[in-house]
Structure 1
């Protein structure tokens, strides 16, 4: 199922914190979510891991003016700008946060900890040097919105052709669950201060992401052969790419708009 990337939450609420719209406690609470704890390792001036509150404050004092998101995949360095070490770590994680105004980025590493039957999730963000260059392949909000409209049509056509859209109660339940969650609103994820268009783009990206997840997870009668799955992956790869590009555009909209008005 489509889930919000931890990097998106950190960037969105980190931006609201830097703008003075939310308190440090509220920002960290929203970023951590259902995880047990988040720490930051490799922060300049610190010998070991520190909490998110201290880390965000330190990055602000170092000159951070905003946070962008990268969501790379093999063959698609979406949102990255180098150097190779950072890009490789971000690719392994599938996501990263890049600070504007300072040459640092954060890559999450997720652990399960605790005794059997009582496991909890801990996240360590690795602070690494980044290159001050334009991020790769990030569209504007307008471009992302136009691409998503076409991607929705393509995804629906693919699902129909694969007989997934009508594949029964499991798919219907997935759609109902998504619709219920969407009513909460993307603005809560993006944090205060984001433009309304960014929330709209993120919601469209969620819809595309749900359709892609349905195609991967649910087949007619629940049975999906290897050849059928290969066909789905090939047909939906461009659609999934559009959804990731739109996610990044939405999360990065706060910084992009701020820089346009400087």
Structure 2
């Protein structure tokens, strides 16, 4: 339920590696996470797909100094800078990584196979040319934190007004998982990120969790079409703020360069 995009893991741990704060193996393992394997195709100088460790080294040799996240959706090209071909691929995946220091970007293609409970997930990152320009609509960390505080208040008001109760086994399990993660002190970002970025990311994930629960739950599970339309309309601005904050947090290591 917690929103941790693969592009976020790649950017965060890739930035830590580029800064010399983690080893290539540690970065690769952290990026793969619970997936089975990640490979990168289309890298300049590589004729075939390569593993993450080699890919990150190749990107550094190509002049990449940092990695930024893009989380675009229809009508909101958040974090993108073009060209249209790359934007279209990123929009289809709803995420991408954009390199700083080289005109390259990476878009994930996720494949799942296997029976329920034993799903094998593999990811191929497609390396494509990008336009070197400021990313679209990415706020500063300070701006994102202020927007999030207001969004959290708005989300609470909206859920109350729409009579969407964040209760029941699914909601309780999601909230318990969030609390356990926070209490365990699990790193939500890689080494090298400022404390404010960690705080903003954790709060953005909390807001995203509340929005997800609101979309999934209605009056006893039955949601009329008009009620769902009202819910989506009310929560869309809150969801947009959460995505902007996620991008600001992941990108803060590059903006500090």
After superposition, the Cα gap between the structure-2 partners of 1:117 and 1:152, relative to the gap in structure 1 and judged at 3 Å, is closer
- Segments of structure 1 that go 5 or more residues without pairing to the other structure are none
* Equivalence map 1:149-164=2 (5 Å): 149-164=149-164
Q: Which moved more, 1:209-218 or 1:165-174?
A: 165-174
Structure 2 unmatched runs, 5+: none
- Write the distance in 1 (CA, Å) between the matches of 2:170 and 2:27: 35
SS at match of 1:111: strand
Change (3 A) 1:134 1:166: closer
Deviation per CA, 1:122-146: give whole Å up to 9, x if none: 0000000001000000000000000
TM-score computed with the length of structure 2 as normaliser? 0.96
Taking the aligned partners of 1:167 and 1:255, their CA distance within structure 2 comes to: 39
Q: TM-score, normalised by structure 1?
A: 0.94
Three-state SS of the structure 2 residue aligned to 1:222 is: coil
**1:198-237 to 2 correspondence within 5 Å?**
198-237=197-236
Q: 2:197 aligns to what SS in structure 1?
A: helix
Matched residues in 2 for 1:71 and 1:10: separation?
13
In structure 1, distance between residues paired with 2:151 and 2:133 = 29
Check the 8 A contact 1:168/1:221 in 2, yes or no. Answer: no
SS at match of 2:88: helix
Q: What is the deviation of 1:207?
A: 1.1
Contact 1:164–1:218 (8 Å) recurs in 2: yes
2:11–2:69 contact (8 Å) kept in structure 1: yes
Aligned twin of 1:129 = 129
Change beyond 3 A, Cα 1:116–1:246: closer
What corresponds to 1:47 in structure 2? 47
User: Which residue matches 2:172?
Assistant: 172
C-alpha separation between the residues in 2 aligned to 1:15 and 1:177? 27
Displacement after TM superposition at 1:229 (Å): 1.4
Task: Note if 1:18 corresponds to 2:18.
Answer: yes
Query: Matches of residues 1-262 of structure 1 in structure 2 within 5 Å?
Result: 1-114=1-114, 118-165=118-165, 167-185=167-185, 188-258=187-257
Which deviates further from its counterpart, 109-118 or 196-205? Answer: 109-118
Separation in 1 of the partners of 2:47 and 2:2? 36
Compute the displacement of 1:39 (Å). 0.4
CA distance in 2, matches of 1:32, 1:229: 35
RMSD: 1.5
> Alpha-carbon deviation of 1:116?
8.1
Contact 1:39–1:52 (8 Å) recurs in 2: yes
Change (3 A) 1:48 1:174: same
Mapped partners of 2:217, 2:115: distance in 1: 33
Question: Does the aligned pair in 2 maintain the 1:17–1:24 contact within 8 Å?
Answer: yes
Could you tell me how far apart the structure 2 residues matched to 1:57 and 1:168 are?
Answer: 47
Q: For 1:168 and 1:114, locate their aligned partners in 2 and report how far apart those are by CA, in whole Å.
A: 30
* Alignment coverage as a number of residue pairs: 257
CA shift, 1:117, in A, is 7.1
Counterparts of 2:126 and 2:55 in 1: how far apart (Å)? 11
